[in-house]
Structure 1
Amino acid sequence: MKKALMALALAGMVTGGAAAAGNPQIVFHTSKGDIRIELYPEKAPVTVENFLGYVDDGFYDGTIFHRVVPGFVIQGGGFTEDMARKPTREAIENEADNGLENERGTLSMARTQAVDSATSQFFINLADNDFLDHGERGFGYAVFARVVDGMDVVDAIAALPTGRSHGMADVPRETVVVESAGRVGG
């Protein structure tokens, strides 16, 4: 565990020094275990403010990880257990040009084909997905955070069998619920 945390800290330094003392952290308490995330407000201020707004409002409580693609991503932040889409705030500016990369363990905002269409949904990269970075595939997907503890939980979610549900593919057959999300120390 100590080696894993050290590797994550070093990875943060390699990606442009994103990791910094005092960065806000949140914890997703899920039905599979806890996932602790460090946010990068200096690199993605609009995205972090948006994300924390959803966290502080309790928006993520009761949402699910609705998309799992092994070796690629797990995605959540938009649907309830009965696969109902939660109403969101307005879309935000895409900050994919912030120098952060879609590496294993990073969080990025999910969006439609429209560049500035992200609202509440996010994904956690299961691999180094450089084709999602700014300039690699159009404007790219905005990285704004990194898992600092609980990557084993992310991997357990990624290992779940999936299928189709409510017209969507890659839905885990076992529902993984975000029981609550909140700031660390807040």
Structure 2
Amino acid sequence: DFMIQGGGMEPGMDQKQTRASIRNEANNGLKNVVGSVAMARTSEPHSASAQFFINLKDNDFLDYRASNSQGWGYCVFGKVVKGMDVVEAIARVSTTNKHGHQNVPVDDVLIIKADISGEPAEAPQ
């Protein structure tokens, strides 16, 4: 397992209502390393809307390489600074296949609270 993903479903596997997709900003200089938080998307580079993932290990294959279909990567926008033990516990829950999705937790996993600390980082110039 290389990451955990969430943000797209309500409890009971009901699809979450989302806003419009956002532009992929994976060329911001941030890397998909252990504990980094990134936007999930489809194969379309600019399709991220609500789903995110937390990297369980360094995943350089998810990093930005070029502004083309093969190189866009996945935009890192944050990092876990406290509570990585909780992330690892989520990664260990029992999973199954549900509603056409693989590796879905048998029991719903809810993130009740996440704090944002510090000032937003500026993208490298």
When normalised by structure 2's length, the TM-score is 0.85
Q: Distance in 1 between matches of 2:106 and 2:12?
A: 12
Structure 2 regions of 5+ residues with no counterpart? 118-125
Residue 179 of structure 1, CA deviation: 2.9
Q: Which has the higher strand share?
A: 1
The one-letter code matched in structure 2 to 1:119 is S
Structure 1 regions of 5+ residues with no counterpart? 1-69
Q: Distance in 1 between matches of 2:92 and 2:113?
A: 22
- The residue that corresponds to 2:98 in the other structure is 165
**SS of 1:175 mapped into structure 2:** coil
The one-letter code matched in structure 1 to 2:59 is N
Find out whether 1:90 has 2:23 as its counterpart: no
Residue 183 of structure 1, CA deviation: 4.9
Percent of residue pairs identical: 52
User: Number of matched residues?
Assistant: 115
**SS of 2:73 mapped into structure 1:** coil
Which of 95, 110, 125 does residue 40 from structure 2 map onto? Answer: 110
Q: Which has the higher helix share?
A: 1
Q: Distance in 2 between matches of 1:113 and 1:158?
A: 24
- The residue that corresponds to 2:72 in the other structure is 139
Which of 106, 109, 113 does residue 176 from structure 1 map onto? Answer: 109
The one-letter code matched in structure 1 to 2:89 is A
What CA RMSD, in Å, does the superposition of the two structures yield over aligned residues? 1.8
Instruction: State how 1:68-83 maps to structure 2 within 5 Å.
Output: 70=1, 72-83=2-13
Q: Which runs of 4+ in 1 moved over 4 A?
A: 180-184
